[in-house]
Amino acid sequence: MERISATYYIETPYEVEAAAQVLAGEQSSGTFVAVPGETAELKQRFAAQVESIEPLEEVSEPAIPGAVSPTGKYRRARIKVSWSIENFGYNLPTMISTLQGNLYEITQFTGLKLMDLEVPDSFARHFAGPKFGIKGCRDLTGVPEGRPLIGTIIKPSIGMSPEETAALVKELAEAGIDFIKDDELMASSANSPFDKRVDAIMKVINEHADKTGKKVMYAFNISDEIDAMHKHYDKVVQSGGTCAMMSINSVGLAGVKSICDRGELAIHAHRNGWGMLNRHPLLGIDFRAYQKLWRLAGVDQLHVNGIQNKFWESDDSVVNSIEGCLTPLLGGYQVMPVVSSGQWGGQAPETFRRTKTTDLLYMAGGGIMAHPAGPAGGVKALKQAWEGAVDGLSVEEVAEQYPEFGLSVEKFGKKK
């Protein structure tokens, strides 16, 4: 019988082996006394199994509150646990409840993070995964291999009318942008109702496409309740749009999958709220595991933060996330990493040096909008940055060679 496995980074005041067994027990049989009906045969078939234990460092302070160590030592380890596919079948929410459910409550752990998960081949028959992925997003935007899609976010995040937004979109389309998105704070607001915004923006985008043959991909933020999301989705399809965006943590897995399953629009997955799931080194879930869940749900683009970002996350962590997204899952399930947060092009050389990929959606906000030569200069500068990055140039070398990127360095590079 196929098995699903999960790897955890744990910390415990007890013996690692004993703590691992508590986890396996809680997440399969799960009660504090033996009860009638729990036969050895049942245990054998349905019990979670501890597959491996790799002992790591010992520390003298617990990472998070839990049991107090009798020895004053807290042991860390990487452990791998597996479950029979029989336990939950092809049901992602129940798989999540098993792999990252009550186990965070277990007092035997003073730290627990789900680092990775492996699903069996039969998942490929039940979960179609991203309908567009990297290739599909390139096709929809007409961006050939060899450079990232260049994108931006409408700012201010909130407050602009549909007409003001459409005017900005027109300027950005003419500037040569590939992709634009709503902010995650903007769904349907008093001054920018969803349908009116779609009408105003798609008019501009369709006109530009008719004229130039290039259709800018606009990710409309459809995040809402189920019926409203489907209604918004219909509106985008009917208006000739190519993409919808969801705040995946806020909407939740069942809602996101219900939208992804429709398959008519590329799905831009915004991971806002991610920090609460990941920021502590010994609590929550690592991006390696997280991105697999959302690829199974079917998102086409997934946020990964960016090198030298404005947030707390380290470059190593961002690189790890990009690599995670680009590693095939079940032989495919391509998802496009969305690089954003304080990006202006100056990070392109380092991003390419460390990841050796251009299969990215590279997003800049102020880096494009506030470029000294206007948005057209900003978009040009970003393309130049990536050309230089692929050629192995440094930021300074790209700046010397390309005037628009030179202006970016003058304006945005000083504070770095």
Within residues 76-105, the interface with a copy of itself by CB under 8 A covers 86-89, 91-94, 96-98, 100-105
Cβ neighbours of residue 359 under 8 Å, at least 6 residues apart?
Answer: 134, 145, 148, 326, 336, 337
Residues 242-271 contacting a copy of itself, CB under 8 A: 247, 249-258, 270
| 234 contacts: CB under 8 Å, gap ≥ 6 | none
> Within positions 7 to 46, which residues make up the interface with a copy of itself, using CB under 8 A?
27-38, 42-43, 45-46
Confirm if 152 and 365 have CB atoms less than 8 A apart.
Answer: yes
Question: Within 175-234, which residues bind a copy of itself (CB under 8 A)?
Answer: 183-185, 187-191, 221, 223-229
Any contact of residue 416 with a copy of itself (CB under 8 A)? no
CB 337 within 8 A of CB 359: yes
Return the residue of 20, 23, 81, 106 that touches a copy of itself, per CB under 8 A.
106
Tokens 């919808």: give the residue: 244
Q: Does 149 bind a copy of itself (CB under 8 A)?
A: no
Which of 267, 277, 348, 399 binds a copy of itself (CB under 8 A)? It is: 277
Binding test (CB under 8 A) with a copy of itself, winner from 21, 49, 82, 272:
272
Q: Which three-class secondary structure state does DSSP give residue 54?
A: strand
Footprint of a copy of itself on 366-385 (CB under 8 A) = 366, 369-370
List the strands of the sheet with 74-84, edge to edge: 49-59, 74-84, 3-12, 111-118, 283-285
Q: CB of 355: closest distance to a copy of itself in angstroms?
A: 20
Q: Tell me the closest approach of the beta carbon of residue 126 to a copy of itself, in angstroms.
A: 10
Given a contact cutoff of 8 angstroms between Cβ atoms, the answer to whether 68 and 13 are in contact is yes
Taking the least distance from each CB to a copy of itself, the nearer of 221 and 242 is 221
Minimum separation from the CB atom of position 224 to a copy of itself (A)? 5
Rg (CA), the chain: 24
The token duo for 18 is 């004993």
Residues 117, 168, 180, 399: which binds a copy of itself (CB under 8 A)? 168
* In contact, 371 and 377? CB cutoff 8 Å: yes
Nearer to a copy of itself, 134 or 244 (CB): 244
356 forms part of the interface with a copy of itself (CB under 8 A): no
Within residues 290-309, the interface with a copy of itself by CB under 8 A covers: 305
Q: State which residue, 92 or 140, has the beta carbon closest to a copy of itself.
A: 92
Question: Helix, strand, or coil here: 391?
Answer: coil
Tokens 């950005």 correspond to 172
If the CB atoms of residues 145 and 415 are measured against a copy of itself, the closer one turns out to be 415
Q: In the bound complex, what is the minimum distance in angstroms from residue 339's beta carbon to a copy of itself?
A: 14
Nearer to a copy of itself by Cβ, of 284 and 349: the residue is 284
- Is residue 75 within 8 A of residue 122, CB to CB? The reply is no
The pair of structure tokens assigned to 147 is: 């450079």
Tell me how far apart the alpha carbons of residues 76 and 378 are, in angstroms, rounded to a whole number. 47
Q: Which CB, 39 or 213, lies closer to a copy of itself?
A: 39
Task: Decide whether 56 or 226 has the Cβ nearer to a copy of itself.
Answer: 226
Q: Please tell me the distance from the alpha carbon of residue 96 to that of residue 7, in angstroms, as a whole number.
A: 13
**Rule CB under 8 A: which of 386-415 touch a copy of itself?**
412
Count of positions on this chain that bind a copy of itself (CB under 8 A):
100
Closer of 65 and 213 to a copy of itself (Cβ): 65
Residue 70 binds to a copy of itself (criterion: CB under 8 A):
no
**Token pair belonging to 401:** 């060679």
- 58 strand-pairing partners: 75
- Tokens 């302070």 — which residue? 61
Which of 135, 279, 356, 416 touches a copy of itself by CB under 8 A?
279
**Residue 27: beta bridge partners?**
none
CA distance 219 to 15: 49
Residue 377 identity (one-letter amino acid):
G
Residue number, 161 or 239, with CB nearest to a copy of itself: 161
Q: Which is nearer to a copy of itself, 132 or 274 (CB)?
A: 274
Task: Give the separation between CA 188 and CA 324, rounded to whole angstroms.
Answer: 33
